[in-house]
Amino acid sequence: MLGRVALFVPASSPAMINSSAAFDADAIIFDLEDAVAISEKDAARELLREALDFLSFKGKNIIIRINSLTTAYWEKDIDYVLKTSADAVMVPKARPSDIKTISSMMDSMDSTMGIVPLIETAASVEEITNIIGASPRVKGILFGAEDYTADMGIERTKEGSEVLYARARLANAIHAFGIEGLDTPFTDTEDIEGLRKDTLQGKSLGYTGKAAINPRQVETIKQLYTPGQDDINYAIKVMKAVRQAGGKGAFSIDGKMIDAPIIARARITLERARIGVNTID
């Protein structure tokens, strides 16, 4: 649902909404929260609803970030969001109770929408298993390092060693639950080399994608989360061999034993490359 790269777009800006479909992000996160001034929350909701009706976002998952459940705006937000065709709601400063609240509202509306908790407080890092476990609608999470470091009262650096624990903790959790995890956005939109480094760091920890806060970041992130051709070719070779072996246990490729972890890795590679295992011939 979240894919390799999810692009934040302010729900208050028609120009940005208009162009958002043109970028190659796997998902778009329309923002009703930080990007929208308090006096413009009503206008942003209305604009977004009309936009989702009018514009075509074919092939992209639509996620809407509502205001935190500690604010006065979230109820109106969710009211609007539930009437749209969005794929998921992103809940900022998520707590287990927030996820349960939103989830039961969705249940009562017979909605198929998913929930993406935004993990950006010290408490929510500690409670991550309860947050993910709060609803089967949670198919992925986003780590928000800016608010997290603010909550911790520590300095946020570009190199990011101060968020290493939280970042790794969440990456572990997404794999424990088998869900997707978006790494925190890189906020210096001018620094593409820094973005590259930061993306690779998140990827090495186990994230499955990263949020972008500017369209210019999309291509870089997407490329880094898309497996290279060598990896894809090897994965295809593995899956072909699996099929030929027909469940006969262990076998080898080029003299190397192929066991369950290697097969699992090949599956993930193909998944990330958006290649269906059944389409391999």
Partner 1 sequence: MINAAGREIPSVINGYKEVMPFSGAYNNPGNGIRTISRYKTVWPGGNKVLGSIREAVEKVGLRDGMTISFHHHMRNGDYVLNMVLNEIAKMGIKDLKIAASSIFNCHEPLIGHIRNGVVTGIEANYIVGFVAKAISKGILDRPVIMRSHGGRDRAIEAGELHINVAFIAAPTADVYGNLNGIYGPSACGSLGYAFSDAKYADRVVAITDNLVDYPLTPISIDQTLVDYVVKVDRIGDPKGIVSGSTNITRDPLGLKIASMAADVIEASGFLKDGLSFQTGAGGTSLAVASFLREKMRAKRITGSFGLGGITGFFVDMLKEGLLKVLLDTQCFDLKSVESLREDSNHIEISSSMYGNPHNKGAVVNNLDVMILGATEIDTSFNVNVTTGSDGIIMGGSGGHNDTAAGSRLAIVVTNLFKGRLPIVVDKVTTVTTPGETVDVLVTEQGIAVNPRDEDLKKKLIDSNLPVVDIDKLKDMAYRLCGTPDEIRYKDRIVAVEEYRDGTVIDVIREVV
Partner 2 sequence: MEIVKEAVAGTLESSDCLVMVKPYEGLKVDIESIVMERYGRRIRQIVEDVIKSMDITSGYFKIQDRGALDYCLKARIRIAIERAGVDNVR
Q: Does 14 bind partner 2 (CB under 8 A)?
A: yes
Q: Does 126 bind partner 2 (CB under 8 A)?
A: no
Residue 22 sits in the site that holds partner 2 (CB under 8 A): no
Please identify, using beta-carbon distances, which residue of 44 and 221 lies nearer to partner 2. 44
- Minimum CB separation of residue 205 from partner 1 in Å reads 28
> Is residue 50 a contact residue for partner 2 (CB under 8 A)?
yes
Question: Which of 9, 138 has the CB closer to partner 1?
Answer: 9
Please list every residue from 258 through 277 that binds partner 2, using CB under 8 A.
none
Applying CB under 8 A, the span of 53-61, 63-71, 221-229, 245-253 interacting with partner 2 comes to 53-61
Q: How far is the CB of 194 from partner 1 (least distance, A)?
A: 17
Please report whether residue 42 would count as binding partner 2 according to CB under 8 A: yes
Q: By the criterion CB under 8 A, which residues form the site for partner 1?
A: 18-19, 22-23, 55, 214-216, 219
Supply the DSSP string of the chain, one letter for each residue.
---SEEEEEETT-HHHHHHHTTS--SEEEEESSTTS-GGGHHHHHHHHHHHHHHS--TT-EEEEE---TTSSSHHHHHHHHTTS--SEEEETT--HHHHHHHHHHHHHTT---EEEEEE-SHHHHHTHHHHHHT-TTB-EEEE-HHHHHHHHT----SS-GGGHHHHHHHHHHHHHHT-EEEEPPP--TT-HHHHHHHHHHHHHHT-SEEEESSGGGHHHHHHHHSPPHHHHHHHHHHHHHHHHHTT-S-EEETTEEE-HHHHHHHHHHHHHTT--GGG--
To the nearest whole angstrom, how small is the minimum distance from the Cβ of residue 176 to partner 2? Answer: 42
Q: How far is the CB of 27 from partner 1 (least distance, A)?
A: 17
Residues 6+ apart with CB under 8 A from 156: 145, 146, 149, 150, 162, 163
Q: Minimum CB separation from partner 2 for residue 161, in Å?
A: 39
Query: Which of partner 1, partner 2, none interacts with 50 (beta carbon under 5 to 8 A by kind)?
Result: partner 2
Among 25, 28, 32, 51, binds partner 2 (CB under 8 A): 51
Site stretch for partner 2 (CB under 8 A), options 7-15, 27-35, 114-122, 156-164: 7-15
| Contact assessment for residue 54 and residue 18, using Cβ atoms and an 8 Å cutoff | no
Task: State the residues that interact with partner 2 by CB under 8 A.
Answer: 13-15, 18, 42-43, 46-47, 49-51, 53-55
